[in-house]
Amino acid sequence: MGTALLQIKIMPESPDVNLDEIQSKAEEIIKQNQGQNPSFETQPVAFGLNSLTASFSIDESIQTGLFEDKLKEIENVQSAEITDFRRAFG
């Protein structure tokens, strides 16, 4: 199997949520489930609310829904949605 690149948009429940805590927990979940080289980017949404986008690589045989389900379980996370999935070349 090959390597896939995955991006997941993580939405907090409110603008008051500490994104650093969510990022720390998300990174741990990604690594525990064979995700590699996670990186994170904060993006403004509206009215002071920011989302967190996690980008990482996985073996393409791994079920991607697993990451969405586990990230949704983080306290103060409203949703986690895959926004990009592509096969890596090179």
How does pLDDT run across 14-69, given as a tens digit for each residue?
999 999 999 999 999 999 999 999 999 999 999 989 999 999 999 988 899 999 99
What pLDDT shows up at residue 88?
79
Q: Give the span between the Cα atoms of 42 and 51, in whole angstroms.
A: 6
Which residues span the domain enclosing 23? 3-87
pLDDT of amino acid 80? 97
Domain count, the chain: 1
74: CATH:
3.30.70.60
Q: Which residues pair with 43 in a beta bridge?
A: 51
Given a cut of 60, is residue 90 above it in pLDDT? no
Predicted confidence band of residue 2 (pLDDT cuts 50, 70, 90): confident
Q: How far apart are CA 58 and CA 36, in angstroms?
A: 6
